[in-house]
C-alpha cells in the first residue's frame, strides 16, 4: 500500500471532501472506510503452515438522489491504494458513474437519508509483537505440544463521513491467538488469547490452563446414548447459542415479518426464564457504536429482561418502513457486542451443581432445525466431559444435540454463573471483524442429544 494504515484518516477525509464537492443540491453522499494492516500466522502441529500480511482498504459510498417522486439510491465500494492520484481519479470516475446510474433506478420508498450525527473519534492503540518476531514468540513456548490455530494481529480502521458534515473514526490495534491443543488420541481443548497489549506471562497462563484441561481429555472417551442429560454449558458454548439470536431473532424486521422465533415472546404466547437477561452492550468497548451509515447506538440496548422481550435491534431502514425509531443497529440487525447477565452459580460449585451430566466447553456448527420455532441443532466439540456425582470421569465422544432456545433459556435453565468471560470475535471473512461477547455459563436441567 502506498501509505501506512495509521495515516489513512487524512487520506479518507481528503477523498470524501473531493467527492462532496461534486454533488448537486439534490444529492447526498454517505461514505464508509474499512481497512486493516494485518498479520496472519496459521499454525499446525505447533509449527507454521502459512504466514503473511495483508494491507487492505476499501471505500463504500452510497449516493442518494432526492426528487419530488421520492429518493433513489445506490452504492459502490472499491479498493483504495493509498496513492492520492490513483484514488482520487478512481473516486471521480465512480462518483460520475453513480450520478448517471442513480437517475435510472427505481425509487426506494424506505430509503433513509443520512443525517449529521456529529464527530466521533475512538483510538485504541495497542502494544503488539513485532511481525518478524511472532513465530518465535508464539512457538518457543509450545515445544512438545500439538497446537493448531491462527494468530491475527494489527491495526483495523473504520470511518464514516457524509455530505452533511458527519465525521466518525475508529482505530484499534489488537491481536488474537485462536488455538486448540490435541492429545495423541485427537481429543482437544480450545482457547482464544486476545487483547491489545501482548503480555508473555498472560500468554503462558493461558497455555498452562489449556494444558491442564487437556490432561482431563486423556481418559478413555465415553459414548453416550441418545437422550436427555443434565448439562453445564461454559461461556464459549453459551456464546454460540446466544449467537443464534443474531440469525433473525432479535431483528425487529424479522419479528414483524413473522420469521423470528421471538415473535412468541412479543405476543405473550411464550416466555423465557426470569433468570435470563440479554443486552446489546457497547460498554465492552470492542466495537464502534456507529454502524456503516454512521447511526450511533445507545451504550446499552436491553433486549430481554428477566425472560421478557423488552427491545429489539432496529436498523434505520426498518424504522422507516414501520414508522418506528432506529437504535443504530446494522443493516442485518444482528449483535455486535452482546452481554448476558450473570447469575449466582459460583465457579467452585459448577461440578457439584451439575452432579451427573455433561460439561460442554464448546459447541460446533449450529444451525436451525426449525428456525421459526427457535429449534437449534449442533455438535459438541473440544473439552466436553462426562461428570458423575460432581467428579469428571472423562471426555465424551462427539454428540449431536437438537433443542430449543425456549428450553435453553427458558424451561430448562436452572442457574447462571456469577462470572462471565469475554469471547473475542476472531472471524476474518473478507477482513478482520470487530466485536465480542460477554457471557456466563449456564446449568440446564436437561438437554436433548440425538445422534
Partner 1 sequence: MSAKNLNKILNEICISPELKKAEWIGLREVRERHRSFVGQDGKIRDISSDNTHGIMVEVFFHGQMGYSASPSPHVSAVLESAIRALRQAQAASKWSVAPFDFGASSPRVRPVAKGHYASPKSVSTMSPAAISELVVMMSGRMQKSSKIVQTLAYIDCLDGESRLVSTSGTEIEQELEGIILHFQATAQDGSITQKRSDGENLQGNQQYLTDPSLWLRVDRVAEQSLELLSAPECPNETTSVVLMPSQMTLQIHESIGHPLEIDRILGDERNYAGWSFVRAKDFGNLQYGSKLLNVTFDPTVSGELASYSFDDGGNPAKREHLIRDGLLIRGLGGLESQTRSKIPGVANFRASSWNRPPVDRMANINLEPGSSSFDQIISSIESGILMDTNRSWSIDDYRNKFQFGCEYAKRIQNGKITHTIRNPNYRGITTPFWNGLKMVGEASTLYTHGTPNCGKAEPNQVIRVGHRSPVCLFENVEVFGGAK
Considering the complex, state which of residue 173 and residue 280 has its C-beta at the smaller distance from partner 1: 173
Beta bridge partners of 340: 278
Tell me the closest approach of the beta carbon of residue 375 to partner 1, in angstroms. 6
Beta bridge partners of 61: 31, 76
Please, what sign has the CA dihedral across residues 96, 99, 100, 106?
A: positive
Please give the Cα distance from 240 to 237 (Å, whole number). Answer: 5
Please give the Cα distance from 137 to 151 (Å, whole number). Answer: 11
The helix (run of H) or strand (run of E) holding residue 266 is: helix 263-266
- Kindly tell me the burial class for residue 172, based on how many C-beta atoms sit within 10 Å of its own C-beta (0-12, 13-18, 19 or more): buried
Please give the Cα distance from 388 to 391 (Å, whole number). Answer: 5
Considering the complex, state which of residue 3 and residue 445 has its C-beta at the smaller distance from partner 1: 3
Please give the Cα distance from 180 to 189 (Å, whole number). Answer: 5
Considering the complex, state which of residue 108 and residue 305 has its C-beta at the smaller distance from partner 1: 108
Tell me the closest approach of the beta carbon of residue 134 to partner 1, in angstroms. 7
User: Number of C-alpha atoms within 13 angstroms, CB side, residue 364?
Assistant: 13
Tell me the closest approach of the beta carbon of residue 200 to partner 1, in angstroms. 17
Considering the complex, state which of residue 46 and residue 340 has its C-beta at the smaller distance from partner 1: 46
249-261 as b/e: b if 16+ CB within 10 A? bbbbbbbbeebbb
Give Rg (Cα) of the chain.
24
- Cα three-residue angle 31-34-37, rounded to 5 degrees: 150
Tell me the closest approach of the beta carbon of residue 442 to partner 1, in angstroms. 20
Tell me the closest approach of the beta carbon of residue 292 to partner 1, in angstroms. 12
Tell me the closest approach of the beta carbon of residue 187 to partner 1, in angstroms. 12
Contacts of 346 (CB under 8 A, 6+ apart): 417, 418
Considering the complex, state which of residue 289 and residue 432 has its C-beta at the smaller distance from partner 1: 432
Q: Identify which of 269, 188, 219, 237 has the alpha carbon closest to the alpha carbon of residue 387.
A: 219
Considering the complex, state which of residue 349 and residue 373 has its C-beta at the smaller distance from partner 1: 373
Contact 340, 276 (CB under 8 A): yes
Angle between helices 84-101 and 8-21 (to 10 degrees): 40
Tell me the closest approach of the beta carbon of residue 258 to partner 1, in angstroms. 4
Tell me the closest approach of the beta carbon of residue 388 to partner 1, in angstroms. 24
Tell me the closest approach of the beta carbon of residue 353 to partner 1, in angstroms. 28
- Beta-sheet pairing, 375-388 with 357-370: antiparallel
Amino acid at each position: 500500500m502506498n501509505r501506512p494504515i495509521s495515516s489513512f484518516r487524512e487520506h479518507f477525509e481528503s477523498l470524501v471532501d473531493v467527492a462532496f464537492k461534486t454533488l448537486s443540491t439534490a444529492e447526498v453522499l454517505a461514505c464508509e472506510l474499512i481497512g486493516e494492516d494485518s498479520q496472519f500466522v496459521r499454525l499446525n502441529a505447533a509449527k507454521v503452515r502459512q504466514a503473511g500480511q495483508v494491507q487492505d482498504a476499501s471505500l463504500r459510498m452510497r449516493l442518494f438522489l432526492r426528487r419530488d417522486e421520492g429518493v433513489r439510491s445506490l452504492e459502490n465500494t472499491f479498493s483504495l491504494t493509498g496513492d492520492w492520484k490513483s484514488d482520487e481519479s478512481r473516486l471521480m470516475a465512480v462518483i460520475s458513474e453513480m450520478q448517471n446510474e442513480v437517475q435510472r433506478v427505481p425509487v426506494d420508498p424506505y430509503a433513509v437519508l443520512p443525517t449529521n450525527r456529529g464527530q466521533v473519534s475512538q483510538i485504541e492503540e495497542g502494544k503488539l509483537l513485532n511481525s518478524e518476531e511472532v513465530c518465535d514468540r508464539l512457538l518457543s513456548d509450545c515445544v512438545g505440544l500439538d497446537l493448531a490455530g491462527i494468530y491475527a494481529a494489527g491495526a483495523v480502521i473504520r470511518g464514516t463521513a457524509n455530505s452533511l458534515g458527519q465525521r466518525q473514526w475508529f482505530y484499534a490495534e489488537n491481536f488474537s491467538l485462536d488455538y486448540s491443543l490435541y492429545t495423541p488420541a485427537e481429543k482437544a481443548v480450545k482457547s482464544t488469547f486476545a487483547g491489545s497489549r501482548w503480555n508473555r506471562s498472560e500468554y503462558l497462563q493461558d497455555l498452562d490452563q489449556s494444558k491442564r484441561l487437556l490432561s482431563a481429555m486423556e481418559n478413555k472417551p465415553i459414548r453416550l446414548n441418545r437422550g436427555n442429560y443434565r448439562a453445564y454449558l461454559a461461556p464459549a458454548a453459551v456464546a454460540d447459542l446466544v449467537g443464534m439470536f443474531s440469525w433473525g431473532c432479535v431483528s425487529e424486521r424479522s419479528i414483524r415479518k413473522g420469521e423470528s422465533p421471538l415473535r412468541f415472546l412479543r405476543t405473550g404466547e411464550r416466555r423465557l426464564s426470569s433468570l435470563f437477561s440479554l443486552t446489546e452492550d457497547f460498554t465492552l468497548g470492542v466495537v464502534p457504536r456507529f454502524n456503516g451509515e454512521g447511526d450511533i447506538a445507545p451504550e446499552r440496548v436491553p433486549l430481554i429482561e428477566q425472560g421478557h422481550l423488552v427491545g429489539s435491534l432496529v436498523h434505520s431502514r426498518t424504522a422507516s418502513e414501520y414508522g418506528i425509531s432506529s437504535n443504530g443497529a446494522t443493516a442485518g440487525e444482528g449483535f455486535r457486542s452482546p452481554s448476558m447477565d450473570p447469575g449466582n452459580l459460583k465457579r467452585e460449585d459448577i461440578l457439584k451443581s451439575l452432579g451427573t451430566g455433561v460439561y460442554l466447553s464448546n459447541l460446533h456448527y449450529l444451525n436451525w432445525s426449525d428456525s421459526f420455532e427457535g429449534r437449534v441443532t449442533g455438535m459438541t466439540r473440544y473439552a466436553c466431559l462426562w461428570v458423575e456425582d460432581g467428579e469428571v470421569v472423562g471426555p465424551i465422544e462427539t454428540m449431536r444435540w437438537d433443542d430449543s432456545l425456549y428450553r435453553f433459556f427458558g424451561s430448562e435453565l436452572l442457574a447462571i454463573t456469577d462470572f462471565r468471560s469475554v469471547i473475542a470475535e476472531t472471524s476474518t471473512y473478507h477482513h478482520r471483524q470487530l466485536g465480542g461477547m460477554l457471557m456466563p455459563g449456564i446449568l440446564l436441567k436437561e438437554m436433548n442429544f440425538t445422534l
